[in-house]
Amino acid sequence: MEPVSAAVSAVLPAGGSGERLGGATPKQFCGLQGRPLVSYAVRAMERVSWISDIIVVVSPENIETMKSIIEKYGHKRVTVVKGGITRHRSIFNGLKVFAENQSSNRLLQKPEVVIIHDAVRPFVEEDILLKVVTAAKDHGAAGAIRPLVSTVIASGEDGCLDHSLERARYRASEMPQAFLFDIIYQAYQQCTDHDLDYGTECLHLALKYCKTNAKLVEGTADLWKVTYKRDLYAAESIIKDNLSQQICIITDLKEAVAQVGFLLHESLKSQVKVEAISISLSKNDSHLQNIFSGECYNFLCINDKEYATEEIQQLVDMLEKSNIPLLYPVVLILVHLSISENISFSIGLEELTKIKKFAREVKKKNILVYGLLIQCKDHFSLQETVNSAAALTMALIKDRNPELIGQLLVA
Ligand SMILES: Nc1ccn([C@@H]2O[C@H](COP(=O)(O)OP(=O)(O)OP(=O)(O)O)[C@@H](O)[C@H]2O)c(=O)n1
Ligand SMILES: O=C(CO)[C@H](O)[C@H](O)COP(=O)(O)O
């Protein structure tokens, strides 16, 4: 697909109260893996280099909250705008910052194409954004659609079925949508109060007021809108699933450690992408730096020392510097290796307390530390223990349970 040749900006309506979801916090501010939902939608726009300005529209009482989210997660190119009492009114307010001088916001450069995307649809990829923007350039308006899950029916005044629609002919209108700015802005300017208060479809406004038939673009299944409580659980599961796709195994150069690293690699590779590196942490390995700049959020650090304080601290420092834990919690599993005839418990209470204390400290940096003991009598029983360690590792990275940090699991 051709790169975008138009100036593009985005408006994210985030001014609702989330009545259907319930609870005191509007859904856009509910935490997913510790970060508010709205931040995921902002991040999805921000990582697209060809989107210039990102307007987030929030209700007046949430302006400060939104500003602190932007500050905390280092979001760039974002302007916060005061919302209205309905979604259409909020979107219209968002569009106005490109067209009218406002007392609280400076006038921003008017884009040729504007994307409108609900702040409560966190999984929007560059590919679909590009498709709707390109289609909007050609057709004036475009929006993502999905097949209907249920048949749409109409009931009569008596509460009985009046008629039903042929499901295959209809589609669910989703987001993102994109418009030539002048078209959608003119449409909003002509809206009646009834449109602004009861309307739910921006594409319809472009058709009604600007005779623009939007191009409909097939979207992906995860464009759905977080509406009910169960959607928050689903979104959290998707995020966890995405975060557990890759793991980096770090070993030092000792033979026994490298062997366990190799066996773990073999055992894990059918379930996740595994990067294995064998290094001396103190050398600030460049390969490790590359992994930090990638999309890896899970690290398994194997050691045969009692408690490798210095090495682990170095790893934590490197992670922190890389900014990886800013947006997602990072899982760091400290594997303690003990292969000896004498199978007596080789870690004392003092060490366990140390790990716990350390884990509590680094949790503040959004790094979840767990301990894992691989202990066996000889190299023959090693494979079985490693398989158990791999299963525990998968459970830890899939679950990312903050309550279990600092615990030592025995493989
Ligand atoms: N006055 C409003 C109402 C809604 N929205 C935003 O429009 C998007 C989609 O709306 P919806 O899912 O209906 O959100 P809520 O209105 O918050 O939910 P509910 O209808 O359950 O109260 C959300 O990002 C929501 O914050 C908005 O900006 N301003
Ligand atoms: O799907 C959409 C676009 O067509 C909107 O997200 C949807 O209409 C929002 O409406 P509501 O606030 O009533 O859920």
Q: pLDDT by residue (tens digit) across 123-139?
A: 999 999 999 999 999 99
Query: Of 198, 230, 262, which marks where a domain is finished?
Result: 230
Last residue of a domain, one of 230, 262, 288: 230
The answer to whether residues 260 and 131 belong to one domain is no
Are 162 and 111 within one domain? yes
Residue 292 sits in the same domain as residue 150: no
Whether 320 and 343 share a structural domain: yes
Cis upstream peptide for 13 (omega within 30°): no
Pocket test for ligand 1, best of 118, 226, 228 (most atoms within 8 A of CB): 118
The atom of ligand 2 lying closest to the CA of 173 is 4
Confidence of residue 344 (pLDDT cuts 50, 70, 90): low
Rounded to two decimals, the ipTM of the complex is: 0.94
Residue 101's pLDDT band (cuts 50, 70, 90): confident
Residues 207 and 254 both lie in one domain: no
**Which atom from ligand 1 is nearest to the alpha carbon of 85?**
1
Indicate whether 142 and 13 sit together in one domain: yes
* Closest residue CA from atom 8 of ligand 2: 200
Distance 200 CA to ligand 2 centre (A): 5
Question: Residue 309 has what pLDDT?
Answer: 72
Q: What is the rounded average pLDDT of the residues 74-95?
A: 98
- Among candidates 149, 165, 146, 138, which has minimal Cα distance to 6? 138
- Please work out, in degrees rounded to the nearest 5, the angle formed at the alpha carbon of residue 50 by the alpha carbons of 44 and 52: 85
Asked whether residue 1 is domain-assigned, the answer is no
Q: 226 C-alpha vs ligand 1 centroid, how far in Å?
A: 10
Residues 257, 406: one domain? yes
Please give the single-letter amino acid code of residue 110: K
Ligand 2 center to 297 CA (angstroms): 33
Task: Tell me, in angstroms, the distance from the centre of ligand 1 to residue 82's CA.
Answer: 14
263 with 358, same domain: the answer is: yes
- Residue 118 beta carbon below 6 angstroms from any ligand 2 atom: yes
* Residue ranges making up the domain that contains 134: 8-230
Residue whose C-alpha is closest to residue 125's, from 217, 6, 23, 255: 217
The model's pTM: 0.93
Q: Is the CB of 175 under 6 A from ligand 2?
A: yes
Number of domains within the chain: 2
pLDDT tier for residue 277 given thresholds of 50, 70 and 90: confident
Are residues 225 and 284 located together in one domain of the fold? no
User: In the predicted model, is pLDDT for residue 408 greater than 60?
Assistant: yes
Structural domain contains residue 2: no
